[in-house]
Amino acid sequence: MVPGFFEIKLIRMDQREKSRIQFTCAVWGSKLPPGAKIMYRGLAASALLAFLIGLGPAAHGQTVVPPLPVIGPYPVACTNVEQDFSRVPADETADMYWRGQSGGGTERYVDSLLVSPTGALTSTFVAPNDTDLYDRWAGTPVTYVFLACYPTTSDNPRTDYVLPDGSVVPKMQRGSEAPLLPPSPAQLPVLLFSHGYGGSPLTGIYLRALIAFASWGYVTVAPFHGDLRYSVFGPDSATLSTRASDVATLGTKASDSAMVGPQVYIPVWSEFVAMQAIRPLSISAGLDTMLARAEWLGRLQTSQVGAFGISQGGETLMLLGGAELNYALLTFDRKRVTLDTRVRAAVGYVPYFGLEILPAFGTDQLGAQGLTLPFLALSGTTDPIAPAGVVRTALDRMAGPRGHVLLDGQGHELDPQSGADIITWSLGFLFAWVNGDAAAKTKLMQVDHVDGGLDDHKVLYVDPTGGGGGAAVVVDTIEYYAPSLNHYFITAFPEEAAALDGDPGWKRTGFTFHSWKTGTGPGNEACRFFGTPGVGPTSHFYTISVAECDVVKANPAWTFEALAFRAVEPLSTGCAPEYQTVTRLYNNGMGGQANHRYLTDPAEINATIARGWILEGPVFCVPR
């Protein structure tokens, strides 16, 4: 169903001002359980608010939304991971078992600490018999433990479980206790969670993220990946050296290591590949485990499964969606690891897609070619471990809905100010593509950034499905010329074209291109501006970039007129073959007034440049 818009009141604690702020806004949402503080009607699968609508032009630009609170309306409980910490030797820590830190002939994993293995979520499966991907684990059984956190009832009497580092697993089940779930909704959506390299679901940031998503209505399921059981190298480890002299100190065999480029050394490559390849299998095993447990029977909405990954977890979700993994260090050969079609959408925070010299999905990220899994990437602009440019290359290869949000100044570590940005973007994207909500899909094409927090900015959003709008309607976008003004103008409105055809001051140039009628078809709406009288130029300007639209709206020299038509935004590699490319040219202010042309004809583009116009490049991808 398509939820309505309702007035609600939210009380949130601003992280910087440490004061309670009350504000009223419209939301997309679903029904909360009895006793929840936020009241609204309608059920859209899971008690999540998902994505806020902007507060209106007077308060915010069309493309700005206020942040969601990091913690949602539901209280949270988690499954049984009770451990006997007396089993941990004096010179070790429980964290070493959570992370799978092994060595010296000893393999450590959390399963050896469990008080009630049958009461915990566990799975053992056989890795595929492919030594290219799974090295010495190919064809052998591997064991995984999972933590699931979920919305619970407000009267859940169970006590919190305090970990040795002081972190808390809320309202944790013990022994064979069943989960205490809210009576409504009858079935809850699922969020598969993949933590970063060398971490665990009980590690601070990851545990907090699990709890946050559960508080918004998701049953959030996370494996203890135990990466260090497989590989001592990962994107977050210090083993990635920039000194060739480290080869001697690392003590690895030449047959198990290689130099990549002149300075970067990667040890034990085959183990690193195995660690990456087995991760998505453990994610699927977690979902299988939940669906097979009697206490969860009938309570999980299997048609609404999403995924969220951090760092290496972002790559894991791409592999889960069918991306091919680079398994050959020197030749960049690649193979598909798996494809779990139950997962409807994924979000990656600072997702690791490899490095420029070592792309995770092979040469030029070709292993991501044609991937249809809806994917939103949230990247830091100063992240040296998961560079935004490497992520963008993979996104441009994909064929499904995808977006890229940059967090200005964000490195690879979580900035506390980015929490609200992350939860707002993530829930908005998941609500659109896990819930399948058409209004949410349309909003994602409009939104540029979340108010407050870090300076976040959407730099890419492609929805080849058409954004949930009506059936695609192709229209002619016609160019006119006014000799008295020496200006060009385009319109896709038939009634406006008819009026211009009857005006002797304007004439058709003979150049047209197809576009989609506003409100239909794929891509973004084109913002149409006219120079503000007495301040701006006597000219029109068009853009489908949500960022550029917002910037021009804030410029007093321009007045927003209308949404003129619809087109797809070009990728860094240009328009897809099924589209025609529209190029924008600027007259460089000749005659004292700015003017632009929008052309598809190469000969006319070259002739216009020869007259002194500046080529601004591809701006629209339109139907042929």
| pLDDT for the residue numbered 374 | 97
In the numeric block, which tokens belong to residue 381? Answer: 């602009």
Token pair 């339109």 in the structure block, residue: 622
| pLDDT for the residue numbered 234 | 63
Output phi, psi for 458, to 5 deg.
Answer: -80, 120
Task: Tell me the Ramachandran region of residue 70: left when phi exceeds 0, alpha when psi lies from -120 to 50, beta otherwise.
Answer: alpha
Query: What sign has the CA pseudo-torsion 110, 113, 115, 116?
Result: positive
- The verdict on pTM exceeding 0.75 is no
Give the strand pairing for 402-407 and 20-27: unpaired
Distance CA 280, CA 493 (A): 49
> In CATH, what class is 76-229+278-462?
alpha beta
| pLDDT for the residue numbered 236 | 57
Domain positions in the chain are 76-229+278-462, 233-267, 474-623
CA angle 194, 123, 46 (to 5 degrees): 50
For residues 526 and 567, the answer to whether their CB atoms sit within 8 Å is: yes
For residues 513 and 598, the answer to whether their CB atoms sit within 8 Å is: yes
Distance CA 376, CA 460 (A): 9
Show the 3-state SS of 390-458.
HHHHHHHHCCCCEEEEEECCCCCCCCHHHHHHHHHHHHHHHHHHCCCCHHHHHHHHHCCEECCCCCEEE
Cross-strand bridge partners of residue 145: 122
**What DSSP line would sit under 463-513, residue for residue?**
-TT-TT-BS--EEEEEEEEETTTTEEEEE--HHHHHHHHT-TT-EEEEEEE
* CB environment 341-359: b (16+ within 10 A), e (fewer): ebbbbbbbbbbbbbbeebb
Max distance between CA atoms of the chain, in angstroms, equals 92
Alpha carbon of residue 150 to chain centroid: 22
| pLDDT for the residue numbered 235 | 66
| DSSP code of residue 365 | G
| DSSP code of residue 39 | -
Distance CA 187, CA 185 (A): 5
What do you get for the CA distance between the two ends of the chain, in Å?
34
Show the 3-state SS of 101-123.
CCECCECCCHHHHECCCCCCEEE
- The residues of the chain scoring below 50 in pLDDT are 1-62, 237-265, 267, 468-469
Closest CA to 516 of 364, 620, 379: 620
| pLDDT for the residue numbered 47 | 30
Residue type, 565: F
Give the number of other CB atoms < 10 A from CB of residue 99.
Answer: 25
| DSSP code of residue 202 | T
Closest CA to 270 of 330, 351, 336, 353: 330
Output phi, psi for 501, to 5 deg.
Answer: -60, -25
Distance CA 433, CA 426 (A): 11
Closest CA to 194 of 102, 278, 95: 278
For residues 541 and 558, the answer to whether their CB atoms sit within 8 Å is: yes
In the numeric block, which tokens belong to residue 260? Answer: 């990549």
